[in-house]
Amino acid sequence: MLNRLVMTLVFGFLASNIAFAEDEKAPDWNAETLTGNWGEGRSSLYDKGITVELTHKSDMLANTSGGIRRGSVWLANSEIAVNTDMGKFAGWDATTIFVQYHVQHGNKSINNYAGSFAGVDNIETSTNAGQFYQAWLQKNSADDRLSALAGLYAVDSEFYVTDTSGLFLQPPYGMSAEMAQTGQNGPPVFPMGALAVRLKYASSGYYVQGALTDGVPGNLNNPQGTHIRLDQGDGTLAVLEMGYNTSEEGKSFNKTALGLWRYSARADDLIDVDALNNPIRRADQGFYFLAERTLRAEQNDPAQGLSGFVRFGTVNKNVYQAEWSGSLGLHYQGLFDGRDDDTAGIAVTTSHASSKYRVVQLALGNDTDSSETVVEITYRAQLKPWLSVQPMVQRITNPNMDTTLRDAWVAGMRLEAAF
């Protein structure tokens, strides 16, 4: 019912010629998208306040050796995002409505072959489904220094984010591996957002932002479709981030941030029990640090050159498999002459096992290693403004921290298109 209602609103907007614009200059849809300007339809919508983005990603991946077993898969994600400037549409100044819907396709899980704790592919989900990822309203004030947002929201759209890590296919370069394992159904990140409110204040590069979300995104018993439930015991997730960011989109990177997060609901200790032999309930919380920089910009074009990032985060070591994870990486745009829009990258992520997790596994007869480390090398070739091809290879050392699994090699390619 919710899916049908929101889709009716989205496409009702389109039929009414509503449009959105983030700047005054309209995009060149004929060059930047496969389907073009829709007979001037996109321009008409844009002038009245809406942009519509249609994208598709297809990943062909194979675990060539090691891990659980050899095998190959196809994964895909199709998406529509509608961003509405309500100032142009209804005279609501400094107000934006954003709706994002995606459909998952694919035949199998690549991680069922590789067996990685951190995962292999950032569009892999537990099931094929169509669902709303985000649907929120944002109001800005104080010359856009202050903004408030409410609705269906994904925390990794603004928190714990480094743009330079977005090149890579492995999941922890979006939401990090240590935080991704938390909560009863994970934090509200792809593919499921959660009902939330978010406040942000930014001035002179400095910013502070906080979000309060439903503690259990979606429905634990039904991953299909969109579910907004506020069940007893769900609790909330609170995230606070403070930082400094003078990055210019498409030109340079300069961001440093520190974040804290905490679920109001407690989590079971992996080992310790109370007098009634029930697991002791522990605080479910952590912190993170991130930084990214432009390390070397080419003289003729500041958008080209070498950039890097570093990320580190912890969780309660009494509760989860990994007590911390850290990642770092480099990417270079325009590495080769004549390929100014291509990007090459290398990144590494290490997830460290908690001592209690290792004790539990040992008691079960499973010998575990202290960590899992994954190295990814990739190259994104921009064949057209609307089409890219991205081959990659991953080396997974100690998959899932399991000593019985040989190191895995995963190779694959992403095809991405804008329609």
Q: Which domain holds residue 10?
A: 2-418
Q: What is the mean pLDDT of residues 274-297?
A: 96
Q: What percentage of the chain carries pLDDT values higher than 90?
A: 82
Does the pLDDT at position 10 exceed 90?
Answer: no
Residue range 81-94, pLDDT digits in tens: 999 999 999 999 99
Going by C-alpha positions, the residue among 91, 127, 133 that lies closest to residue 106 is 127
Strands (DSSP E) contained in 334-362 are: 343-353
Does the pLDDT at position 2 exceed 70?
Answer: no
Q: What is the pTM of this model?
A: 0.89
The pLDDT score that the predictor gives to residue 224 is 72
The pLDDT score that the predictor gives to residue 24 is 59
CB 366 within 8 A of CB 388: no
Does the pLDDT at position 138 exceed 90?
Answer: yes
The pLDDT score that the predictor gives to residue 385 is 96
Residue range 195-206, pLDDT digits in tens: 999 999 999 999
The pLDDT score that the predictor gives to residue 275 is 93
Q: Structurally, how many domains does the chain consist of?
A: 1
The pLDDT score that the predictor gives to residue 125 is 87
Q: What is the mean pLDDT of residues 162-181?
A: 96
Q: How confident is the model at residue 22 (pLDDT cuts 50, 70, 90)?
A: very low
The pLDDT score that the predictor gives to residue 230 is 76
Does the pLDDT at position 96 exceed 50?
Answer: yes
What's the CATH code of the domain at 16? 2.40.160.180
The pLDDT score that the predictor gives to residue 299 is 84
Q: What is the mean pLDDT of residues 10-15?
A: 38
Q: How confident is the model at residue 3 (pLDDT cuts 50, 70, 90)?
A: very low
The pLDDT score that the predictor gives to residue 342 is 97
Q: What percentage of the chain carries pLDDT values higher than 70?
A: 94
Q: Which residues contact 185 (CB under 8 A, 6 or more apart)?
A: 192, 216, 217, 218, 220
Q: What is the mean pLDDT of residues 105-134?
A: 90
Handedness of CA 176, 182, 185, 188 (dihedral sign): negative
Distance (Å) of CA 373 to CA 177, 351, 402, 412? 11, 6, 12, 19
Q: How confident is the model at residue 384 (pLDDT cuts 50, 70, 90)?
A: very high
What is the spatial distance between Cα 228 and Cα 240, in angstroms, rounded to a whole number?
23
Indicate the range of 4-13, 70-79, 160-169, 171-180 predicted with least confidence.
Answer: 4-13
The pLDDT score that the predictor gives to residue 67 is 97
What is the spatial distance between Cα 3 and Cα 149, in angstroms, rounded to a whole number?
21
Q: What is the mean pLDDT of residues 381-397?
A: 98
Q: Quote the mean pLDDT of the chain.
A: 91
Residue range 255-283, pLDDT digits in tens: 999 999 999 999 999 999 999 999 999 99
Q: Specify the residue for token string 């200059």.
A: 25
Does the pLDDT at position 226 exceed 90?
Answer: no
At residue 225's C-alpha, the angle toward residues 221 and 230, to 5°, is: 60
